[in-house]
Structure 1
Amino acid sequence: MEAVNTVVAWLATFERELLLFCAFWFVLGALDDLLVDGLWIAIKLRGKAREGSITALQARAPLRAEAAILIAAWHEEQVIAHTIRHALGAWPQQGYILYIGCYANDPGTITAAMAAAGGDPRVRVVIHASAGPTTKADCLNRLYAALCLDEQRRGARFGFLVLHDSEDMVHPAELAVYDRALATADYVQLPVRPEPVRGSRWVSGHYCDEFTESHAKGMVVRDALGLGIPAAGVGCAFGRGMLDRIARVRMAADAQGPFACECLTEDYEMGLLVQREGGRSRFLRVRDADGELVATRACFPASLQASVRQKTRWILGIAFQGWDRLGWDARLRDAWMVLRDRRGPLSALVLACSYALLLTETLLAGAWLGGVYTRVPFPPLLEGLLLVCLWAFAWRVANRFAFTASEYGLGEGLCAIARIPVANVIAIMAGRRALAAYVRSLQGTMPTWDKTQHAEHAAHHGRARA
């Protein structure tokens, strides 16, 4: 019995320490999120967050200058053909070229891409000289070199460059939106809209919740405040002059192009570099003539393992490599947003401690029911922190429900609440793997293209309501 009492006493002490640790960081995170919420509400009330619109005539208008669309592909034979065919059929303009980056040791993707192109002059399949996979950035640099060579041969430059992934479903008005917006900006990011995947309501579905809230609120706040806009790697366009400027900076440091080959989130970094190079960034929410959001639709990982791998890459690239490579911005508000981007590892730690706390509370409840533990009242400070945490959690749940329901319907909004634990587990697992990968990189291990395998294409799911 004495041993049981000792264990219970240790658990009680452990509980108090975990409560204080978790409550402190949850309250701090809640204040951070509430500041964004408050700014978003103020922006909405002042009318600065209104969605733009584009008419059917404007969406079909010829582009002012030709566009280059870069797509890096490795083992994408199951989706690349759908992406190419859909883009060629969806975009009404003729003034663009799809550059598809492939590897000689990936004949399946090459065959699928060339079959989908069908000899269309708007598609160019570029074969990388190195065996794949290298990194996505390295493949994009190969495409950049190919388009620069094309420009020299024909004596004409592209007006802007667009980044897409091999599984993307583009919007018909997308190029027209870029063409108009880049007249006054150097970089434009459009929303990303994950498509629910059949048979994966919980894992794939949590991307719907996260992207919807981020791209309907967080990115809107960044745009309204004139802050740096991270590039998502899909649905984003860069002015030709800005990309040249970044390429010159990179090449001065012996890089092979504008994209950082040693970085796993080269797209995120590119978006922030635009502002650092004195350019203007925009995040645009635009509706077409049918009221549909001009956004990139894509299917995200459907399995737990694939989702953890993808988010590991995001956390490693944004939080760890971003800190090493980009440092911190001089302006307080820019540094604040970058800090929000990099809080993934800390969030994973706090979430892991929270679930450890839940287990501890369960054990103590059992001890209380068995009559071997008497709960001691919490100090007033801790009680106050816990009440704030409870209120903040309820507010976050309400936000998650509201944003998801507005985009996907009431049913998905309710599912978004149930998916919160799933998102938390994925974040914890990805945070641990990202830290381990970062430690290995400090020992000299070079990053590789740990890409997501795609079997589903958004075109298979139809056009969901925006």
Structure 2
Amino acid sequence: MDLGEWSVLEWLALAEYELLLFAGVFFLLGALDEIAMDFAWAWLRLRGKIRTHSVSRADLRHRELSGRIAVFIPAWDEARVIGHMLGHTLHAWKQRDLVFYVGCYRNDPATLQAAIKAASRDSRVRLVVHDKDGPSTKADCLNRLYRAMLQDEERRNQPIRSVLLHDAEDLVDPAALALIDRTLDNADFVQLPVLPIPQPSSRWIGSHYCEEFAEAHGKAMAVRDALGTGLPAAGVGCAFSRNILDLMARDNDDKSPFSDQSLTEDYEMGLRVAEFGGRSRFMRVRGEDGQLIATRSYFPSSIARAVRQKSRWIHGIAFQGWDRLGWENSLAENWMRLRDRRGPFSALVLFAGYSLLLLSGGLALLDLAGFGNAWELSPLLYGLLLANMLAFAWRIVMRFSFTTREYGFAEGFRAVLRIPVSNIIAIMAGRRALMAYSRTLRGQSPQWEVTDHTYHPAQASGSDELAEQAS
């Protein structure tokens, strides 16, 4: 039959067939990848390679540091949260061998004023005003803090042992500092889990990060640690030894450790630790109260902000990661890097899947209206659909289980209901990241698109002392 003689219904049926074949095959490949990670986690856990240790929070809170620690906090347009973050952190971490470097910009007086007010209460806080207008990139701000640290060391003769990274919206764990310091006795990079805080006012957008981090930092990062592959830094709740930072700085032309052209400099630095002979550790530890020692924070509660944040992650990890980090000779390492970089393609497959869902629904209605069905499922396609359905059911079980472990049954149930929301955000973020990456290929410099933060978790702590510290 001549293609020119095909009816609209036949063309739609062909599109449905092709979308089903494309989405079905690649959904299944993605599902097999996830199942492989699930079984790797289960096997390593059975062998004792993955364990969640328990410690005494009181012992950690009163433990003296092994050396002086610098905390880098880059801040752009963070006037509404930086004071609360510093107030809570200074109250939680009372060790004297600690200095906070807060990076502000000269054209951001509101953040600078809020930071000055919080810094005035504690001599451990050092405000650093960038000598250029912001925002540049987060890495550029971190490099400015690194240079300020070097100047302080030379002037005061107080060497820094390690550098801890945090953001202005973070709620630190009182036991985290000592845990990181203790782990750095035998490591060059340490990452603690990140736990997004569920948001009753944003059950569908802001809270969907809960299940994503519950799986990523409850399973994938634990597997990477056990296998000895590169550990990506989350940019918060992570620390680098001074030795590894200096090695990275000497390797760069500008003698700064952070790459100011990278949108995910933290991810990049975490993977590069092994290149310089360093050891990385992911520390998943619970206190005697059963709570995970982790960094907590509110994540974006609107779809526009969530898409903007995730597009930056995809741009930096998938596109820039491929360009800047390449691949390694290790099969396990390349598996992990491939997982990291699948974001753009996953967005494409998800878009194909939802397009198929809409098209199939429309054709089903036409079939009920008597227009007929232009084709029928072959045994091969039927098997493909069945395999995808079983894989999706398994994915639901895993998502529910890991979310429930950290947040309880109700949040685990909501995590399952939020799967379509997560997918739609991923599709939108993938498209936005591709557009941003294409602009950099035409010569445009990457921009630090900071996520807006209007509320800090310490404001809801209910503690009069914390409220006084952050007021």
- TM-score of the superposed pair, with normalisation by structure 2: 0.95
Runs of at least 5 residues in structure 2 that lack an aligned partner in the other structure: 463-471
Deviation at 1:43, TM superposition (A): 1.4
Match of 2:15 in 1: 14
Deviation at 1:375, TM superposition (A): 5.5
CA distance in structure 1 between the partners assigned to 2:390 and 2:150 by the alignment? 55
Aligned ranges 1:64-463 → 2 under 5 Å: 64-250=66-252, 254-255=253-254, 257-374=256-373, 376-462=375-461
Deviation at 1:285, TM superposition (A): 0.5
Question: In the superposition, relative to structure 1, how do residues 375 and 411 fare at CA in structure 2: closer, same or farther (>3 Å)?
Answer: farther
CA distance in structure 2 between the partners assigned to 1:321 and 1:138 by the alignment? 16
Match of 1:63 in 2: 65
Say which SS state the counterpart of residue 208 (structure 1) adopts: helix
Say which SS state the counterpart of residue 162 (structure 1) adopts: strand
Deviation at 1:156, TM superposition (A): 2.7
CA distance in structure 2 between the partners assigned to 1:102 and 1:331 by the alignment? 40
Deviations 1:38-78 (A, max 9, x none): 01001111222211232222331110101000000001000
Deviations 1:348-405 (A, max 9, x none): 0000000110111011101101111236332222211111100000011111111111
Q: Percent identity?
A: 55
Deviation at 1:5, TM superposition (A): 7.5
- 368-377 vs 89-98, which moves further: 368-377
Deviation at 1:4, TM superposition (A): 12
Matched, 1:54 2:55: yes
**2:314/2:429 contact within 8 Å kept:** yes
CA distance in structure 1 between the partners assigned to 2:347 and 2:244 by the alignment? 36
Say which SS state the counterpart of residue 71 (structure 2) adopts: strand
CA distance in structure 2 between the partners assigned to 1:36 and 1:461 by the alignment? 37
Deviation at 1:450, TM superposition (A): 0.8
**1:8/1:373 contact within 8 Å kept:** no
CA distance in structure 1 between the partners assigned to 2:213 and 2:300 by the alignment? 14
Deviation at 1:332, TM superposition (A): 1.2
Matched, 1:42 2:43: yes
- 287-296 vs 409-418, which moves further: 287-296
Say which SS state the counterpart of residue 292 (structure 1) adopts: coil
Deviation at 1:30, TM superposition (A): 1.1
**1:79/1:167 contact within 8 Å kept:** yes
Deviations 1:308-347 (A, max 9, x none): 0000100000000111111111211101100000000000
Q: Which amino acid aligns with 2:369?
A: G
Q: Which amino acid aligns with 2:209?
A: Y
Match of 2:33 in 1: 32
Deviation at 1:457, TM superposition (A): 1.1
Say which SS state the counterpart of residue 199 (structure 1) adopts: helix
- 152-161 vs 64-73, which moves further: 152-161
CA distance in structure 2 between the partners assigned to 1:28 and 1:50 by the alignment? 29
Q: Which amino acid aligns with 1:318?
A: I
Say which SS state the counterpart of residue 101 (structure 1) adopts: strand
Deviations 1:408-459 (A, max 9, x none): 1111111101110000000000000111111111000001111101012122
- TM-score of the superposed pair, with normalisation by structure 1: 0.96
CA distance in structure 2 between the partners assigned to 1:356 and 1:58 by the alignment? 52
Deviation at 1:197, TM superposition (A): 2.3
Deviation at 1:256, TM superposition (A): 5.0
Q: Which amino acid aligns with 1:125?
A: L
Deviations 1:236-259 (A, max 9, x none): 000110111111111xxx235111
RMSD: 1.4
Say which SS state the counterpart of residue 337 (structure 1) adopts: helix
Question: In the superposition, relative to structure 1, how do residues 363 and 4 fare at CA in structure 2: closer, same or farther (>3 Å)?
Answer: farther
**1:138/1:259 contact within 8 Å kept:** yes
**2:307/2:426 contact within 8 Å kept:** yes
CA distance in structure 2 between the partners assigned to 1:219 and 1:340 by the alignment? 12
Say which SS state the counterpart of residue 202 (structure 2) adopts: coil
Say which SS state the counterpart of residue 228 (structure 1) adopts: coil
Deviations 1:147-199 (A, max 9, x none): 01111112231111000001000011111111110111110000000012241
**1:141/1:256 contact within 8 Å kept:** no
Deviation at 1:276, TM superposition (A): 1.7
CA distance in structure 2 between the partners assigned to 1:440 and 1:350 by the alignment? 23
Deviation at 1:31, TM superposition (A): 1.1
Runs of at least 5 residues in structure 1 that lack an aligned partner in the other structure: none
Deviation at 1:119, TM superposition (A): 4.3
**1:368/1:374 contact within 8 Å kept:** yes
